[in-house]
Amino acid sequence: MNLAQGECFLVKGNEVSIVKQEQNLKVSYKTVTADDAGQRLDNYLLRILKGVPRSMIYRILRRGEVRVNKKRAEPSYKLCAGDEIRVPPVRVSTAPVIIPSANLHSVQNLKDRICFENEALIVVDKPAGIAAHGGSGIEFGLIEALRALRPEFSFLELAHRLDRETSGCLIVAKRRSALRNLHEQFRSRVIKKRYLTLVPGKWDRRLKLVEAPLVRNELRSGERMVEVNFKSGAPSATGFDIVEELNDATLMAAMPHTGRTHQIRVHCAYVKHPVGGDVKYGSEEFNDRLKALGLKRMFLHAAKITFTDPVSGKLLKVEAPLPDELRKIVEILKK
């Protein structure tokens, strides 16, 4: 359904309605600059239409209300310098963002979880339990919270993702040029990540690399699942090193060579050493044992990330210490 003359979209939180357009609300036209070239259309709209939920962005794209060079465009369309974008009138509620109380403490402490920062980027030690970004029923994520805490920056975008229950190093770009640089480093596999995870049993020291292609499926319930599939899966590889052998468990370092969804979790489960606390791919028996010891989350932590500084060109190594709740479990299993 397209907008009738004199109508506009009204966005209030996650509610969207069509109302009569106010006189000062008009269709606007944006010309893509060289700095914005290469960005996905949906991400560009999320940035210029601040406060508009992701679901709304996809709705106006599906309805053809957004046009690129007078034509419909897919959300994944990569912008080119000089593209003209038609943006429909969207009136966004100016009411303050309300952060759910369940996550308020974590968000307030976010400013103390910055591991590294320069003029181009921020590396945050993301807490477990907070999504990297809002959407799909999640009111807010780390990036929305960071924008609220650092309103002086007009541009803050995630350079990559971490699962909601995974903690650790997460890079946020403060410049469009830095984001493009970091994306290229990910594509060329310049960026190296090291995770710490706890798995059941004794890991075979000869098992240094797991190569198993992965495919992502959507269940009828809408839940996203990933599985090993040697016929149609995408090439996926994860390196593993033993950090410490514990009481019927092993503390492992996992180094993903590819960046597939849930890669470490699925590869660990594939070799019969599932990640502790993983309710989707894990062992119910091992999870119950860890829960009895006090673990209330998945034991997966992005402990270290190595990349090239987009500004200086120097190699940067940023680390996030193992959270107390995970360190305590390791100490208990040493006894």
pLDDT digits (tens, 9 = 90+) for 310-324: 999 999 999 999 999
Same domain, 319 and 266: yes
Per the structure, the complete domain to which residue 62 belongs is given by 7-92
CB distance 198 to 206 below 8 Å: no
Phi, psi of 247 (to 5 degrees): -75, 100
Q: How far apart are CA 193 and CA 306, in angstroms?
A: 6
Q: How far apart are CA 285 and CA 130, in angstroms?
A: 26
Q: Higher-confidence residue: 70 or 3? A: 70
Same domain, 78 and 18: yes
Q: In this predicted model, what pLDDT tens digit does every residue of 239-261 receive, in sequence order?
A: 999 999 999 999 999 999 999 99
Which of 128, 149, 177 marks a domain boundary? Answer: 177
Q: CA angle, 165 as apex, 161 and 166 as ends, to 5°?
A: 55
Same domain, 330 and 203: yes
Q: How far, CA to CA in Å, does 113 sit from each of 124, 168, 220, 299?
A: 6, 10, 37, 19
Q: How many residues does the chain have?
A: 335
Q: Could you tell me whether strands 249-256 and 237-246 are parallel, antiparallel, or unpaired per DSSP bridges?
A: antiparallel
Which of 129, 146, 177 marks a domain boundary? Answer: 177
Same domain, 305 and 260: yes
Q: Is residue 278 annotated as part of the catalytic site, yes or no?
A: no
The CATH number of the domain holding residue 260 is 3.30.2350.10
- Both tokens of 74, joined, read 């897919």
Of 163, 204, 241, 278, catalytic: 163
Q: How far apart are CA 291 and CA 65, in angstroms?
A: 50
Same domain, 224 and 298: yes
Which DSSP category does 274 fall into? P
103, pLDDT greater than 60: no
Which DSSP category does 137 fall into? T
Mean pLDDT value across residues 307-312: 96
Confidence of residue 25 (pLDDT cuts 50, 70, 90): low
Confidence of residue 221 (pLDDT cuts 50, 70, 90): low
Whole-structure pTM value:
0.74
The domain total for the chain is 3
Is 2 domain-assigned? no
Is 1 domain-assigned? no
- Among 316, 70, 49, CA closest to 191: 316
Mean pLDDT value across residues 249-274: 97
Is 53 domain-assigned? yes
Confidence of residue 9 (pLDDT cuts 50, 70, 90): very low
- Both tokens of 254, joined, read 């996992």
Same domain, 130 and 222: no
Is 25 domain-assigned? yes
Q: Higher-confidence residue: 44 or 206? A: 206
Q: How far apart are CA 56 and CA 87, in angstroms?
A: 13
CB atoms within 10 A of CB 90: 20
